[in-house]
Amino acid sequence: MVEVCLICEKNKSGTKLKEGFIINNIRKIKKIFGIAKGNKLVVCDSCMEEYKKRRQNFEKTILLWSILGGILALFIIIPSVLMYNIYEILRSIITAIILIGVLLILVGMVRYIPKLETIPIKKTILPKKKSKKSTKRR
């Protein structure tokens, strides 16, 4: 497999990305249509800052859509609860769960930036701690 940077899309080596649910499904779809290249996704060192920005933006977007989905679910469920009809309550809960699930999957597929397989560690030298001498009074 050729290693390709997710950000600059060039053949480079770098930090590997986790291949989760979404990446695996995209690969399956590409194999079905015969357009799969079989590349290994990485983030090269020169693109690491851009990757961090995109990943942070993706996480904020998912959080925002989750909050909006929760508010939408409340708007779907509250009228049923006010009518005191158990069947309407169950139907609205199921509808809300399906709607939120579809919404999050669509947002996730469009703006997905996978996590790094390993987090690169920057070597920093920490100052040595001064040991406290115990002073005992006699």
Q: Over the stretch 65-124, which tens digit does the pLDDT of each residue have?
A: 888 878 887 887 777 777 777 787 788 888 888 888 887 777 777 778 888 887 655 555
Q: Is 124 inside a domain boundary?
A: no
DSSP reduced 3-state for 19: coil
Q: Is 70 inside a domain boundary?
A: yes
Q: Is 83 inside a domain boundary?
A: yes
Q: Is 128 inside a domain boundary?
A: no
Q: Is 138 inside a domain boundary?
A: no
Q: Which domain holds residue 70?
A: 3-111
Q: Is 136 inside a domain boundary?
A: no
Q: Is 102 inside a domain boundary?
A: yes
Q: Give yes or no for a contact between 96 and 76, defined as CB atoms under 8 angstroms apart.
A: yes
SS (H, E, C) 78-126: HHHHHHCCHHHHHHHHHHHHHHHHHHHHHHHHHHCCCCECCCCCCCCCC
> What domain count does the chain have?
1
